[in-house]
Amino acid sequence: MPDLPRSFSPSSAGTYRQCPRRWRFRYVQKLPDPPGEPALLGTFAHRVLELLCGDPAPERTIDRARELARQVWPETAESLDFQALQLDDASQRDFRWRAWTAIQGLWSLEDPAAVEVRATEQKVSANLDGVPFFGIVDRLDADAGGLVITDYKSGRPPRPGDHDSVLSQVLLYAAAIESDSGERPARARLLYLGKEIVEAEVTAERLATTGGDLADTWSDLGRDCDADEFTTRPGPLCGWCPYVAVCEDGGAEVRRRVREGRMRADAPARTALGI
């Protein structure tokens, strides 16, 4: 019977909500979940922006970001995860161009030289409604209204109907900061680099809703751990699940979708299943 984890991050909660069996593969069986190209691109862009925002405010310029990107690139290029992608020269150039487009996209959303940065990559942990929550905040800022939680995203922005759901991550960070310091942040925001800002005022009601959802997920996870029964939740995301080759239901789902023409040609599961 698996034990409940000692800490519960937004990413772990998200994996469990998406598919309990996927959570078990990753967090109990600890099967490898290598980051794909989008995740590595996001990590590279995050690292450059973290270093940029650690510099004094007037020095946070695009030229400085370009210099940092050149400095950080070898870390990414030499990592085993990046090498496992086996990108040829043209694909590596494309990766760098897309990463740079994301980094540069910060300036279309804000002027980083005008931001009062309090911390970057700030670890936060707190007991939230009985859940041992843990997370890492990309950036903690201050403005006239108070503390601002900021998280960078290099992917596509969500549809307006999904804003509440995607904001839960930064609202949980806000709840943890309030629990730890007694100060409630004023705003929580997601910066979709080069695209748009999705944000919310941090209110008692929003914190209660988000904390309640996390507690419900934790409770469901406890039930599954007790019974050691983690259901599969087959769907379109099986096409991107690293465990599809060892998951009967997921494999069947992908095959069905391929037959019906409902699976993208670039879904990694096609390669994993040889279809």
* Helices assigned H by DSSP within 78-203: 80-84, 89-104, 163-181
Which residue lies nearest ligand SF4, judged by its C-beta? Answer: 250
Q: Is 238 in the site for ligand SF4 (CB under 6 A)?
A: yes
Question: What is the spatial distance between Cα 193 and Cα 168, in angstroms, rounded to a whole number?
Answer: 19
CB atoms under 10 Å from CB of 216, counted, come to 13
Question: Which helix (H) or strand (E) element contains residue 127?
Answer: strand 116-128
Task: Kindly identify the residues of this chain, within the stretch 9-28, that bind ligand SF4 according to CB under 6 A.
Answer: 19, 21-22, 25
Does 273 interact with ligand SF4 (rule: CB under 6 A)? no
Element (H, E) at 179: helix 163-181
136 near ligand SF4 (CB under 6 A): no
Of the two residues 21 and 187, which places its CB atom closer to ligand SF4 in the complex?
21
**Beta strands 131-143; 116-128: pairing state:** antiparallel
Is 98 an interacting residue with respect to ligand SF4 (CB under 6 A)? no
Q: Which stretch binds ligand SF4 (CB under 6 A): 51-59, 118-126, 247-255, 259-267?
A: 247-255
Helix then strand count (H, E) for the chain reads 10, 5
Give the alpha-carbon dihedral of 52, 53, 56, 61, to 10 degrees: 50
In the complex with ligand SF4, the residue whose CB is nearer, 170 or 272, is: 272
| Cβ 70 vs Cβ 162: under 8 Å | no
241 near ligand SF4 (CB under 6 A) = yes
Query: Considering only residues 49-68, where is the footprint of ligand SF4 by CB under 6 A?
Result: none
Asked whether position 233 contacts ligand SF4 by CB under 6 A, the answer is yes
For the bound state, the minimum distance from the C-beta of residue 20 to ligand SF4, rounded and expressed in Å, comes to 8
Which amino acid would we find at residue 142?
A
The closest alpha carbon to 72, from 83, 84, 80, 64, belongs to: 64
Interface characters, 176-215, with ligand SF4 (x: CB under 6 A): ----------------------------------------
The site that binds ligand SF4 (CB under 6 A) totals a number of residues, namely: 15
Binding residues (CB under 6 A) for ligand SF4: these are: 19, 21-22, 25, 232-234, 237-238, 241, 243-244, 247, 249-250
